Amino acid sequence: MPQLRTVQPALKEKLTAFQKEIERAIDQYMPTGDTRPVRLHAAMRYAVMAGGKRIRPVLLLAASRIFPTKIDAKAAAVAIECLHTYTLIHDDMPCLDDSDLRRGKPTCHKVYDEATALLAGDALLTLAFELISKEYHNEPALANALIADLATASGSRRLIGGQMEDVERAGQDLHADTLSFIHENKTAALLTAALSMGFRMTQPTAEQMKRIEQAGYHLGMTFQIVDDILDATASAESMGKPTGADADACKTTYPALYGLDGARKEASKHTAAAIEHLEALGGDNDFLIGLAQELEQRGSEKARAPDILRPHLKFIKTRLTLKLQKAYIQPSQFWPDSSVGRAED
Ligand code: IPE
Ligand code: IPE
Ligand code: MG
Ligand code: MG
Ligand code: MG
């Protein structure tokens, strides 16, 4: 399973404890693999149990423990991981990122088939809301707020909207506005929901709720910026998913627009802002502050020289190919290998 690589010992211990708690809860709350239709439930479990860092449920559980509460956040933590896993299954399908590897294993549509993967994703999305409505039915106001948090974050204006522009804008000129729209929505929205959902179980004030949302936004931005950096610099083995994929598909990423150092500076600014908001909350916030630092550190390892150039070169080459094709000129007249990302499609 891909792990956070640089975690401090005390933080690592806490993180591992959270992850174990989540693994047990996932097993408990998900339909068993022999539930009919077996192929569907087996595919759902395959994708969720394949591992993963469990960042969203960890954030949710940790936020639910900033202040004391009697409410058990585990079902909501499983719900957000189910919803997140659905986004990964669909994100990997040929019509989106067309990826063969996820969480160190073949993607769901490779092990099963596209129809099963599509339906497993649909079912995980629906299961998320079923779990919340059933497990918090004794607290109707809380259940309602949790459902609103999760539905809003994952809907067409947020997560799915971010995914839409991620695909739609690939291969186009880079714009800072598009970049922040994509990152705020495809990723930061769900990380924010993770913190908000957990934190609202502690009955915070409206002002404290605003703080956690700000922390979630900044932490989520760092998370996706670092994901982009690692796509350009890390190995597929260490990530458990293919790397170099963003440049190949000419995606709008932080390294493509600002370069690796620029992207790292942005990640660092967002982390500092996230920590400021978490500190202002007080309570049991040490773990979340430490985790925010670690999530940024993942992207700070030194990249090999060719990797530093890769996002830029690939992007320029694809842009040029597209422009030549628009002018009815065969790119292969200019370079023999015209197999550059989407330009061929
Ligand atoms: C991958 O999320 C998708 C992004 C938003 C970058 P994670 O990096 O949290 O993936 P897992 O859950 O650990 O596999
Ligand atoms: C995926 O972003 C975000 C969602 C699934 C919502 P990416 O496409 O960058 O994620 P990876 O790199 O495949 O994990
Ligand atoms: Mg994607
Ligand atoms: Mg992807
Ligand atoms: Mg990525």
Over residues 271-298, mean pLDDT: 97
Kindly give the interhelix angle for 55-63 and 9-29, rounded to the nearest 10 degrees: 100
Residue 341: what pLDDT? 34
Residue 18 forms part of a structural domain: yes
Q: In whole angstroms, give the CA distance from residue 336 to residue 345.
A: 17
Q: Which of 220, 312, 303, 299 is nearest to 265 (CA)?
A: 299
Mean pLDDT, residues 195-213 taken together = 98
**Residue 321 falls within a domain, yes or no?**
no
Q: Which ligand is nearest to the CA of 224?
A: 1
Largest CA distance in the chain: 69
Atom number of ligand 1 nearest to Cα 53: 13
The tens digit of pLDDT for each residue in 99-144 reads 999 999 999 999 999 999 999 999 999 999 999 999 999 999 999 9
Say what the alpha-carbon torsion angle 247, 251, 257, 259 is, to the nearest 10 degrees. Answer: -30
pLDDT-above-90 percentage for the chain: 83
Between the alpha carbon of residue 88 and those of residues 94, 95, 103, the distances in Å are: 12, 13, 10
Ligand 1: which of 53, 187, 243 to mutate, judged by most atoms within 8 Å of the beta carbon? 53
Closest CA to 56 of 90, 22, 28: 22
Ligand 1 atom at shortest distance from the alpha carbon of 84 = 12
**Average pLDDT in the chain:** 90
Q: Is the pLDDT of residue 58 over 60?
A: yes
328 belongs to a structural domain = no
Ligand 1 contact via 52 beta carbon (within 6 Å):
yes
Give the per-residue pLDDT at 11: 95
103 lines ligand 1 (CB under 6 A): yes
- Give the distance (Å) from ligand 5 centre to CA of residue 228: 5
CA distances from 197 to 133, 183, 185, 190, 331 (A): 13, 20, 17, 10, 50
What does the pLDDT look like over 159-168, one tens digit per residue? 999 999 999 9
pLDDT exceeds 50 at position 180: yes
Overall number of domains in the chain: 1
Residue 314 has pLDDT above 80, yes or no: no
Selected residue with higher pLDDT from 180 and 307: 180
Whether residue 48 lies inside any domain: the answer is yes
Indicate if ligand 2 lies below 6 Å from the C-beta of 186.
yes
Residue 229 lies in a domain: yes
- What is the 211 CA–ligand 5 centroid distance (Å)? 27
CATH code (residue 289): 1.10.600.10
Residues near 9 by Cβ (< 8 Å), separated by ≥ 6?
A: none
Range of the domain at 163: 9-308
Q: What is the DSSP string of 96-125?
A: TT--SEETTEE-HHHHS-HHHHHHHHHHHH
3 is a domain residue: no
What pLDDT is stored for residue 225 in this prediction? 98
> Which atom of ligand 2 is least distant from the CA of 228?
9
Q: Which two tokens stand for residue 243?
A: 């790397």
- Provide the token pair at 315: 């992007």
Residue 340 has pLDDT above 70, yes or no: no
133 within a domain of the structure (yes/no) = yes
In a domain, 190, yes or no: yes
Q: Residue 204's pLDDT is what? A: 98
What is the position in ligand 1's atom list of the atom closest to the CA of 223?
6
Q: CA 59 to CA 52: how far, in whole Å?
A: 14
Beta bridge partners of 333: none
* Residue 154 and residue 104 in contact, taking contact as beta carbons nearer than 8 Å: no
Ligand 4 centre from 88 Cα, in Å?
7
